Chains A and B, each alone.
Chain A
Amino acid sequence: MSVTAFLTDSTLCIGCKACEVACKEWNGVDEDGFNWSGFSYDNTGAVGHSTWRHVKFVEDGNGPGGLSGPAPGFGGNAPEGATWSFSSDVCKHCEVAGCLEACPTGAIVRMDFGAVFVQPDVCNGCAYCVVACPFGVVEKNHQDGRAFKCTFCSDRQMVGLAPACAKACPTESIKFGELDDLRLRAQERLEELHSRGMNDATLYDPTETSVKGIHAMFVLRGDPRSYNLPPKPEVPTIYNKRGWTSSAVAAGALLAGAMLAFLGGRR
């Protein structure tokens, strides 16, 4: 089976949240409360245990003439106007995944098609994956006790179906396909956007960092930081070597110190 991926194109997203609904419907994900955030149309805030797809409403009221706040009628592709763009966020299914490396039970596994999957029948809710994820995706559900995140619709993919969110997306903003193919298509799309004057269009795929690329890439306009995407995500295993070296030093010092103290303490 080939490695599959998402390519989420924020220039095509209309913010309808059909992906969120399709995800919840298919996966039976819990409701996440009815709270108003005051942040544009985003009342969910972030992906979490009860939100596996999450549409971001990126509203930057940096308009002309000191206008701040989105002005009706502005936005879209007018570079001088206030912008309001949407991007459907999801687990990145990293090439080197922090949660997968950290999981002490082996509950988190890599599927044939590259998905990072939390096996709900194995997870014991130790919550170490939560602090190991550089994207803040996986979260512990305290009612249930286990950790949850996007499964990449592994059940659907195993029988050859596209993930529910990609299937439901009405504008094909969420593209699903083979990873290598989508990387090419992303480049083509960027060239097309640039040729149309959208020079701020970028591809978010941190291949230069220790995460070594992601299986859910994003075509964005502007700075990825406005979309809560870290410029330099690092998988925490890179700290292991320094940590264990320090641990060995501490252990050596403790052993030597204890021996010396009791040698000297003998009366």
Chain B
Amino acid sequence: MSEMPKIPPASARRAGAEPQRDYGEPVPYEPEMPSEARLLEIRREAERRGQVQGAGIRPAGAPFPKASPESGYYGIHLLKEPQWNWAIPLYFFVGGAAGASSVIATAADWVGDDFELARKARWLALGGAGLSSALLIYDLGRPSRFLNMLRVFKPQSPMSMGAWCLAAFANTTAAAAFADLVRDRFGNSLPVRLLGGAARGASTLFGLPFSNYTGVLIGATAVPVWNQNIETLPIHFGASGLQSACSLLELWGFDDSRALNMLGIGAAAYETWEGFHLEGNFDRVNDPLKHGTSGWITRIGGVLSGPVPLVLRILGGSSGAPTSRRMRRMAAWSGVIGSLMTRYGWMRAGHASSQNWRIPLDIREDSRVDDRMQSKPALPQARSVERA
């Protein structure tokens, strides 16, 4: 061991114990590789603060990261997060409103004899269908390949069913709106009546599932908070879609329609029940719907689309008096904002849920990564080299 080379202390080296050499001007070190850059960053931080913080840097004595039946694989989440952008929750909102609006149009047309409302609801459905397609295509990684969605017909894939449903809904709604246009300009001749009626019927037929299928779409996934709620998600999203369709039509001037108010009351009543249903479910899977950012968005969205419009609609009625209209409009704004927040809340809850590594690994929520490490001794420190 006495043969080991002796390293002069740093102070001796700096003091010029070794012969001076002329190295010329120091060349500034410019790292090119990202890892080198990170190393340099860490060195600078260490020089400045005497301590470094960051991923992978743990002070001595801190819990050592572990892969175990208690801590999973270092707590790295197993599931991948949903990789949709902001356009998809907005699409859920727009599509839900469009589908429900098409059903409202047909009911107003065939049962209610309210042709003005039917016409506007049809236009709302058509606008919604167009915007839905645009939002869906915008989110695609390869938007130019959007027609590939119609390459196959796969009943087992909710996304495939949704794509077909959207295509059929958009086309039949466009045909129905076109029939309205032709009727207004050229009169209600027999072919216009027949073809228009068929288009309206088909638009309603496809509008019904289109207003709520997004609940199936996110429910039939590996994300726990979504698939655990699949039995209520389509009804929840359907009610939310109906709420927003009624609200948008009311804001468009039909704030004295009794039928819209009744539909709005029905939707708000369901949303109120859904809120109680979710709040009363204490399964840890539903935590993202109650806690954190996603919880607050979902909760505020639920209040704005449930109890608030319910009370305002019941109190406001549909008398057409200025107070009634004002309350209806307030209910409508609350419903639209609540419905939008509901979709964003559920999407964020899906992100939070897929980051929970415990649920797919079936690990108790109270298990601790450092369960057995409370009384742990500090990691052995590197011994300083004995210097001559």
Q: Which residues of A does B touch, CB under 8 Å?
A: 33-40, 42, 45-46, 48, 56-62, 66, 68-70, 98, 101-107, 122-128, 130-142, 144-147, 222-223, 225-228, 230-234, 236-237, 239-240, 242-247, 249-251, 253-255, 257-267
Contact = CB atoms under 8 A, between A and B. Distances in A.
4 interchain residue pairs of minimum CB distance: A125-B141, A145-B141, A265-B259, A38-B56
B349 interface: no
A124 B146 contact: yes
B17 interface: no
A104 B250 CA distance: 36
Of A35, A39, A260, chain B has the most CB atoms within 10 Å of the CB of: A39
A126 B373 CA distance: 44
Contacts of B160: 103-104
Given A138-B80, A250-B235, A231 B379 contact: no
A76 B38 CA distance: 33
B235 A249 contact: yes
Nearest to A264: B262
Given A40-B67, A106-B152, 16 more contacts: A61-B373, A68-B376, A101-B156, A122-B151, A126-B140, A127-B141, A128-B157, A131-B218, A131-B223, A136-B79, A147-B141, A242-B219, A244-B216, A255-B208, A261-B262, A267-B258
B252 interface: no
A227 B73 contact: yes
A243 B220 contact: yes
A37 B259 contact: no
B141 A265 contact: no
23 contacts: A36-B55, A37-B56, A60-B67, A66-B377, A69-B64, A70-B64, A102-B158, A104-B149, A124-B142, A125-B145, A127-B139, A135-B78, A140-B141, A142-B141, A145-B140, A223-B68, A225-B72, A230-B360, A236-B221, A240-B158, A243-B220, A247-B213, A254-B103
Contacts of A237: 156, 220
Contact of A242 (B57, B111, B211, B230): B230
Contacts of B106: 258
Contact of B69 (A46, A123, A223): A223
A247 B241 CA distance: 13
Contacts of A253: 235, 238
Contacts of B238: 247, 250-251, 253-254
B299 to A, nearest CB: 22
